[in-house]
Amino acid sequence: MMKPVRSFIRSLPVQNAPGIKNGEPARQPATISKFEFSPTSPCLNPFSSLRPLPPLPRLTPRLPRRAIPPNSIGSCRILSPMKISELSPEYRQPPPHAGLLIDLNRVVADVEAFDTSDSSSPEKLAADLRRLLTNLASAASSSSGLDEAFRLKVWHLAFRLWNACVDRANHSFPSRVAEAEIRQAAPELLLVAGLPEDIPNAPAKAASFFHRTGLVWLDLGRADLASACFEKATPLVSAADTEEDRAVLLDLNLARARAASIAGEQALAVALLSRSKPLAAASPEGVKALAEEYLRIGQAALATKPPDPALDASNLLTEALDLCEKAAASPTTRTTPGSTPATPNLQVIKDQCLRFLAVERLEAKDYEGTLRCISVWRTSLGLGEEHPSIGFMALRACLGCGNLVEAERELQTLMANAGAPDFVCVSAAELYLASTGPDAAFKVLVALAARCRAGAAAAAVRVLKKVVETAGGGTGRARAIAELASDERVVKLFDGPANSHERNTMHALLWTCGTEHFHAKNYEIGADLIERSMLYVSRDEESRSRRANCFRVLCLCHMALRHLDRAQEFITEAEKVEPNIRCAFLKFKILLQKEEEDEAIKLMKTMVGYVDFNPEFLTLAIHEAIACKSVRVAIAASTFLLGLYSAGKPMPMTEAAVLRNLIALLLREPGSEAEILKYSRRAKLRMAELGVEAVCGKGTVGLRERNWFAVNIWNMAIKMAKEKKYDYCTEFFELAAEFFSSGNGEDDANRLLVCKSLIMSVSAMFLTEELNKSPLSDSDLKKGIEMLSRAGKLPSTPVTSDQLEDNNLPFLHTINFYKLLNRMDTTAHPQQLQLVKNFAASKACAPGHLLKLEEIASQGTQPNLQVAEFLLKTCITTALASHSPNYGIVSFALRRLVCLAGLQDSSGSMSDAVYDVFRQAYQIVVGLRDGEYPFEEGHWLTTTAWNKSSLASRLGQRSIARKWMKMGIDLARHFESMKQYVSGMEEYFERFQKVSGKEPDECSQQDGAPSTSLSGSVSQPGLA
């Protein structure tokens, strides 16, 4: 029963796995593709004349299996048939593990069935095979184990499974992972079943299955599963007893190295390659395969640059190159008589090794080594076509060595190479220009234009970009760039709608370069570059904005260069292309610089009519006018801007800020008091209408704005007072009071300023009357009274003792109020008296103030003698009450009081009231040191009293005359300058006594009567 089975297994062909690179058998020995026996018992092998099947290419149509010849079984030893009656059923036992074979056969049949309708079929088949493999492994490890026949049947089923997997792969089943798992079940079955003795070179066959399955896993990106397959296969052929074993082991080592490299284990990959050198030495194909792996790992090391020095890319590439040299130097072998030499074509690998060695040397900046590698490569190439990368690397190496002549030659060679892509030529040109600068740019650009027919514009953009990047900020190089970009041949490259993107890029490049020079204040160079950039701006509708922008920047450049006419030409062109507010503003700037103020103001009026008008442009116009020292234009712009606030438009700044700036500008112009007053009143009116926060702003900002107006108006009022423009001074002080009183929280300083402003406004009102010589109207009088009444209601601030004399506010308030009351039609004497009494009771009262008030009270058309008397008496009392009395004021007040008493004496005797004043004067001068009382006033008192006696004597009033003579003599005794007259006066008095005797006169009855006041209503005050 065994020999037919063996013969059947011998007939099974082995198909190659799909996925072998380029349809090649991956250097598998020819014996792997067939299944041969070397039976120990002598029998005729019916398959000895059969040739092995060729390997199946990846994803190619399935090759038909070779059918078993019909006489293949009959050629072996024929057993005599047995009759059914001769069988003994009771003695027949089923073969061991028959169920496993049945299940395995069923699953293999399902794999062969190609059931593509069930999408889960591959996964289910893979799971069934894993289960059967587990059961089979358990059976193999059992005590009974697997017999020879069972193992052969398993091998037979494994081969069927493998061939079915090949067929399924050719039909491109979608689930590739599950298909790979099904495929891996075939070598796993062989490994579990063991190695039958009757199958020749069974280890190599099983290892080959694992190797090909691992390659499938590598294609799927599962390097871990691939490595597991390779590691299972390696022990099967590690002895390397036969040539086939060594070939399979070499393939396994190379595949393991590839898997390790993919997994990142480069050191293991290099170790496996080193281990494969003895195995590859026997075969040129093996040497080639080993060189390819060294090259591939060297490329990976060159890309990743691992830190391990054993993985140096240069060493790996050199090893690959040495292997190629050895293989080329070895004698060729022939596989069979009459066949061609088996030496593989190693030139491609050598070229790649030299190229990558050149790259490695170039990255290491070993430019001489790079040129040597390129020289060897070119020598081995002969007259063949050169790879473009060689010329590119040669160019870089020459530039690195500083050999610009050789670099130019290499660039010309590269551009002459028809196989070189355009982008490589452009990159080479960029590198060359980065070292040479813009001087050689034109020649390179012309060569590129001839070389890159389709992408000449893009190439020109890249070259010019490199020139700009390496040119720096020098003037000479910038001019070279401008000349290069404006050449007709270069501009012509960008013609046509297909080059619109490159044209825009070129414009942007020149624009950027020009604006950089513009910001660096190299206006001439910037204007030149921007003007050249307009060569790349089309005249279609889409480019209108860009062209207008160029014109505007050119206008700015020429304005900076003071080429105002040229700048005006450019901005006129810009307005033709795209009329907008920016063009109008630039025209406004030009007019300012030309000092054409009237035209600038006219143009500014038209700005509001532009669609894109923004109030910010009026703000900018103000700044420009101030910068050009054109205050008149700045004032006009501020006025226009202020007019927009009434329209309720959203504005960039508060209305108070605009008013403040306008007033500040008006302050620079002489004779602008009326305008300043006008806009100051507007500020107050707007605050009253909209609120302080709406006009000035919130918080501290608004408070600062309000205070600025108040302080500025106060200062303006002071200025008007100094310039004697009292009419404006009146209004400014009145407006200042309104500003200082606005707001919620008034402090003491503000209240004091309000009071000052009101009082000073009324004072300026009287000065205006005096200056203009025109009386105040009734409305002005009422207004002044209201203002002073308001000032009087403000709480007074505490005043220190050293500020009493300087604090004139109460005095000004009193004197102005008195004047206003004096102008009223109705009598106001009681109010005036109460007013001066209130002032006299205040701490701010001073004797000088009282004298000034008395002068006003005793003059005018309606003198108030009662107020004058009170003021003079209070002045004397106040002056004498001070620590150091001013007797000059006292003497002056006494003289005024004497005169006033004389005016009020209704009896005509002038005795009592006037005499009381002299008696008060006498009491004052008694005890004074010489010189304390003014000499002139003392002389006046003495002579006046003496002269009064003379008048009384003539009138026959001898007693009054004696009284005044005695007063004159008493006063003269207390004045040093009058003592010389005392003796004469006494003699005269004695003679007068003798002549008059004791006869009473008509006034004698009044002697000794109590004295009355000068007015008859006020008693003589006592002296301290």
Q: Is the dihedral of CA 76, 77, 80, 84 positive or negative?
A: negative
Based on the domain organization, do 363 and 413 belong to the same domain?
no
Give the model's confidence band at 57: pLDDT under 50 very low, under 70 low, under 90 confident, else very high.
Answer: very low
Does 590 map to a domain? no
Q: Please state the separation of Cα 630 from the chain's center in Å.
A: 35
Summarised one tens digit per residue, pLDDT across range 903-927 is 766 444 445 789 999 999 999 999 8
Q: Which of 457, 477, 496 is the last residue of a domain?
A: 496
Structure tokens at 514: 């020009």
Q: Name the nearest CA neighbour of 823 among 852, 770, 780, 874.
A: 780
In a domain, 511, yes or no: no
Half-sphere exposure of 483 (CA within 13 A, CB side): 12
- Among left, alpha and beta (phi > 0; psi -120 to 50; other), residue 42 is beta
Specify the pLDDT at position 1021: 27
Pairwise CA distance, residues 412 & 424, whole Å: 13
pLDDT per position as a tens digit, 467-493: 777 766 667 778 888 888 888 888 888
Higher pLDDT, 633 or 957: 633
709 lies in the same domain as 783: yes
Kindly tell me if the per-residue pLDDT of 938 is higher than 70: yes
Burial class (CB in 10 A: 0-12, 13-18, 19+), 819: buried
Q: Which of 496, 515, 539 is the endpoint of a domain?
A: 496
Range of the domain at 761: 672-797
Look at 609 and 64; give whichever has higher pLDDT. 609
pLDDT at 379: 81
Whether the CB-CB separation of 12 and 157 falls below 8 Å is answered with no
- First-to-last C-alpha distance (Å) of the chain: 168
CB neighbour class for 291 (10 Å; exposed up to 12, middle 13-18, buried from 19): buried
Burial class (CB in 10 A: 0-12, 13-18, 19+), 237: buried
With 0-12 CB in 10 A as exposed, 13-18 as middle and 19+ as buried, what is 885?
middle
Structure confidence at residue 193 as a pLDDT band (50, 70, 90)? confident
pLDDT of residue 724: 93
- Looking at the 3D structure of the chain, how many domains does it have? 5
The pTM of the full predicted model, rounded to 2 decimals, is: 0.59
Say what the pLDDT of residue 999 is: 54
Across residues 810-831, what is the average pLDDT? 85
- pLDDT given at position 933: 92
Residue 940 has pLDDT above 90, yes or no: yes
Query: Which residues have a Cβ under 8 Å from the Cβ of 914 and sit 6 or more positions away?
Result: 898, 901, 902, 905, 948, 1014
Are both 214 and 269 inside the same structural domain? Answer: no
Domain assignment present for residue 508? The answer is: no
Highest mean pLDDT among 36-45, 418-427, 699-708: 699-708
Number of Cα atoms under 13 Å in the Cβ half of residue 572: 7
**In-domain check, residue 823:** no
User: Residue type for 378, please?
Assistant: R
Least confident window among 530-544, 747-761, 909-923: 909-923
- Do 297 and 175 belong to one domain? no
> Rounded to an integer, what distance in angstroms lies between the CA atom of residue 914 and that of residue 269?
140
- Cα dihedral 591→595→599→600 (10° resolution): 60
Q: What is the pLDDT of residue 274?
A: 85
Short-list 598, 599, 603, 597, CA closest to 618: 603
Task: With respect to residue 636, please indicate whether it lies within any of the assigned structural domains.
Answer: no
Q: What's the rounded Cα separation, in Å, for the pair 343 and 333?
A: 7
Contact 6, 198 (CB under 8 A): yes
pLDDT at 629: 93
Q: Among 478-482, 578-582, 615-619, which is the least confidently predicted range?
A: 478-482
Residues 376 and 397 in one domain: no
pLDDT in tens, 386-414: 888 888 888 889 988 888 888 888 888 88
The span from the CA of 821 to the CA of 813, in Å, is: 12
pLDDT at 60 over 50: no
Which band of pLDDT confidence, cut at 50, 70 and 90, is reported for residue 260?
A: confident
**pLDDT at residue 54 tops 70:** no
Same domain for 167 and 213, yes or no, is: yes
Note the pLDDT of residue 787: 92
* Packing angle of the helix pair 581-593, 615-627 (nearest 10 deg): 10
pLDDT tier for residue 16 given thresholds of 50, 70 and 90 = very low
Q: Are 766 and 721 in contact (CB under 8 A)?
A: no
Please tell me which residue, 854 or 484, carries the higher pLDDT value: 854
- What is residue 684's predicted lDDT score, i.e. its pLDDT? 92
Kindly state whether residues 214 and 70 are assigned to the same domain.
yes
Predicted confidence (pLDDT) at residue 881 exceeds the cutoff of 70: yes
> Do 375 and 450 belong to one domain?
no
Q: How far apart are CA 781 and CA 772, in angstroms?
A: 16
Q: Please tell me whether residues 16 and 153 are part of one structural domain.
A: yes
The pLDDT of 577-589, averaged and rounded, is: 94
Residue bearing tokens 């810009």: 574
The last residue of one of the domains, among 256, 289, 310, is 256
Tell which wins on pLDDT, 745 or 468: 468
Q: What is the pLDDT of residue 763?
A: 93
Distance of CA 963 to the CA centre of its chain: 102
Q: Which two tokens stand for residue 339?
A: 């066949």
- Using CA atoms, how far residue 771 sits from 540, 569, 721, 780, in Å, is 74, 58, 12, 16
pLDDT band at 713 (very low <50, low <70, confident <90, very high): very high
Q: Is residue 151 part of a domain?
A: yes
In the predicted structure, residue 42 carries a pLDDT above the cut 70 = no
967-1009 confidence digits (pLDDT tens): 999 999 999 888 899 999 999 999 998 887 655 554 443 443 3
Q: Quick one: pLDDT at residue 618?
A: 92
- In 3D, which of 205, 214, 212, 258 has the Cα closest to residue 236? 205
Span 62-80, average pLDDT: 34
- Position 1018 confidence tier, pLDDT thresholds 50, 70, 90: very low
Residue 607 lies in a domain: no
Q: pLDDT tens, 593-602? A: 999 999 999 9
What local confidence, expressed as pLDDT, does residue 21 receive?
36
* Type of residue at 223: A
SS3 track for 727-753: HHHHHHHHHHHHHHHCCCCCCHHHHHH
Tell me what pLDDT residue 18 has.
38
**Is a pLDDT exceeding 80 seen at residue 341?**
no
CA distances from 71 to 13, 121, 666 (A): 17, 38, 128
**pLDDT of the residue at 530:** 94
CA 797 to chain centre: 54
Phi then psi dihedrals of residue 16, to 5 deg: -75, 150
Q: Over range 603-624, report the average pLDDT.
A: 92
Start-end of H helices in 773-846: 778-793, 809-823, 829-840
pLDDT at 658 exceeding the cut of 90: yes
Q: Does residue 626 register a pLDDT over 90?
A: yes
Tell me what pLDDT residue 872 has. 92
Mean pLDDT of 605-619: 91
651 domain-assigned: no
Beta-carbon contacts of 15 under 8 Å, excluding residues fewer than 6 positions away, are 33, 53, 56, 63, 65, 162, 163, 166, 167
275 and 183 within one domain: no
Is 160 in the same domain as 204? Answer: yes
Alpha helices per DSSP H over 452-499:
456-471, 475-486, 488-492
| pLDDT: which is higher, 751 or 621 | 621
Q: With CA atoms as reference, report the closest residue to 297 among 322, 281, 324, 318.
A: 318
Mean pLDDT over the full length of the chain? 80
The answer on pLDDT for 115 being more than 70 is no
Using an 8 Å Cβ cutoff, are 788 and 765 in contact? no
Residue 750 has pLDDT above 90, yes or no: no
> Are 373 and 406 part of one and the same domain?
no
Considering only residues 555 and 796, tell me which one the structure prediction assigns the higher pLDDT.
Answer: 555
